[in-house]
Chains A and B, each alone.
Chain A
Amino acid sequence: ETGVTQSPTHLIKTRGQQVTLRCSSQSGHNTVSWYQQALGQGPQFIFQYYREEENGRGNFPPRFSGLQFPNYSSELNVNALELDDSALYLCASSFSLHEQFFGPGTRLTVL
């Protein structure tokens, strides 16, 4: 059984650019959630996708958008990058209502 995988591992972008992060969910899971973890803080919920539809959204601006594909993999897109977007981006997949299993994350640095 394959766990949650994310790509790329690290990414450096400049302010104003756009970025796409990718996530493959754990086998058998149909829900994907994305979180942003700033240095020294806990993860913050960005949004969740269930069966290709957005199922909930945290307090993030519309320039954060996402997709879920029929195989339940997912993308997180961020437009007009700002310096404060520098963080670890975590993807989590789940099947049950509560337990979410996390990937290793993508470290995004915005210069």
Chain B
Amino acid sequence: DQQVKQNSPSLSVQEGRISILNCDYTNSMFDYFLWYKKYPAEGPTFLISISSIKDKNEDGRFTVFLNKSAKHLSLHIVPSQPGDSAVYFCAASAKSNAGNMLTFGGGTRLMVKP
């Protein structure tokens, strides 16, 4: 049972345009959500996070939106740059007996074309 899903395995956008990456979750106990970016041969790099008490968090070109009723979050990158080309993972966590384990989606490969 996949508790965090990224339904788009890949996304291609033109440089300067908006990239929107989507993520759905099923576990209502999740109270914190994170986005990570991963380049080949490197570990995931933390990008931005959002607590369940908020519906939006912004950091420079990156904005994460959370819709709790729909159990959906999205990452907006504006404007997109070629260096943003990477695999993006959505992750969620909840206070539980398993520590603050992160549950990851399967990832979306973003390609930003010059």
Residues of A within 8 A of B (CB): 4, 6, 31, 33, 35, 40-45, 48, 50, 55-58, 90, 92, 94, 97-105
Q: Do A42 and B104 touch (CB < 8 A)?
A: yes
Q: Do A43 and B89 touch (CB < 8 A)?
A: yes
Per DSSP, are chain A's interface residues mostly helix, strand or loop, or mixed? Answer: strand
Q: Do B101 and A105 touch (CB < 8 A)?
A: no
Nearest A residue to B41 via CB reads A104
Nearest B residue to A98 via CB reads B32
A-B contact pairs, 17 of them (CB 8 A): A6-B43, A31-B99, A31-B100, A33-B102, A42-B89, A42-B105, A43-B44, A43-B104, A45-B102, A45-B103, A99-B46, A100-B46, A100-B100, A102-B45, A103-B43, A104-B41, A105-B42
Chain B: how many interface residues by the 8 Å CB criterion? 28
Residues of B within 8 A of A (CB): 4, 6, 32, 34, 36, 41-46, 49, 89, 91, 93, 95-107
List of B residues within 8 angstroms of A42 by Cβ: 4, 6, 89, 91, 104-107
Min CB gap A44→B, angstroms: 7
A78 CA / B28 CA spacing, docked (Å): 33
**A45-B34 contact, Cβ under 8 Å, with A90-B44, A102-B45, A103-B43:** no
List of B residues within 8 angstroms of A33 by Cβ: 99, 101-102
List of A residues within 8 angstroms of B101 by Cβ: 33, 45, 48, 56, 58
